[in-house]
Amino acid sequence: MFCRAQIVPMPSDFNQLLSQRRSIRAYKTDPVDRLVVERICSAARRAPSGANLQPGKFHVLSGTALDSLKTRLDKAQQDGTPIEQEYSYFPKVMSADLKDRQRRAGFALYEALGIAKRDVKGRREQFARNYRFFDAPVGIVVTIDRDMGKGCFMDLGMSLMTFLLAAENEGLGATGIGALANYGGVVHDHLHLPDDEMVVCGIAVGVADMSAEVNHFRTERLALEEFSSFSGFERK
């Protein structure tokens, strides 16, 4: 006999966690206890992965270790070190609708920061804050084995989202930093990483400074019908 599965809605506290999470780009100077970061990293490792390969590593930096990396990245920019990307983050050819979505998000961010559309210098300086981990007290360099397949990037992405939600659950703010891969070689050399590790991104972690206007900036999400289709369900 067929038994209809009972639908259990997501707990309200999980919905709240999802809705309140945002990319934090301004932090307080409060230090973050290592044990808290360890809990977040352990939670991230609970994310599913194909064949349980658990791809990706988190290199957690704080204090002088993080300051040293930021100084190295600043020097790379000042010296005009060429950007070298080991993987393609965005489509090689971006469609008009995706380009429009990207521009609207960028314009909204700069508007929240009070940076005018034609203020090239202001935009450049804001982007450079990626390489300072937005002055967060904790910076994480995320790597993956170069031999891993494309599917493993998907698995790493699930781990990263789990990390961000775990940080939110601990009362901390965080944001991913894809721009770190632009200087992956510099980061790799500075941290003396093994040859088989590729720098994927960074993560900034700390206590969010909610007095900063930029932390109230939110990007739009697509409507359900724009990214989902449903077939075979009973009509009610």
How far the first Cα of the chain sits from its last, in Å, is: 22
pLDDT on residue 39: 97
pLDDT at 5 over 60: no
Binned at pLDDT 50, 70 and 90, residue 109 comes out as: confident
List pLDDT tens digits, range 177-208: 999 999 999 999 999 999 999 999 999 999 99
Binned at pLDDT 50, 70 and 90, residue 1 comes out as: very low
Structure-token pair, residue 198: 């590729």
pLDDT on residue 217: 86
Residues 179, 130 contacting (CB under 8 angstroms): yes
CATH topology of domain 23-86+133-215: NADH Oxidase (3.40.109)
pLDDT at 6 over 60: no
Q: Domains of the chain: which residue ranges?
A: 23-86+133-215
Q: How far is CA 88 from CA 45, 91, 93, in A?
A: 24, 7, 11
Residue with more model confidence, 112 or 135: 135
How many helices (H) and strands (E) in the chain?
A: 8, 4
| CA dihedral angle for residue 160, residue 176, residue 213, residue 169, rounded to 10 degrees | 20
Residues 144, 210 contacting (CB under 8 angstroms): no
pLDDT on residue 2: 37
List pLDDT tens digits, range 46-97: 999 999 999 999 999 999 999 999 999 999 999 999 998 888 888 888 999 9
What is the distance between the alpha carbons of residues 109 and 219, in angstroms, rounded to a whole number?
A: 8
pLDDT at 18 over 60: yes
Structure-token pair, residue 112: 């929240």
pLDDT on residue 3: 42
Kindly state the percentage of the chain with pLDDT values over 70: 95
Per-chain mean pLDDT for the chain: 91
Q: Considering only CA atoms, which of 203, 233, 234 is closest in space to residue 44?
A: 203
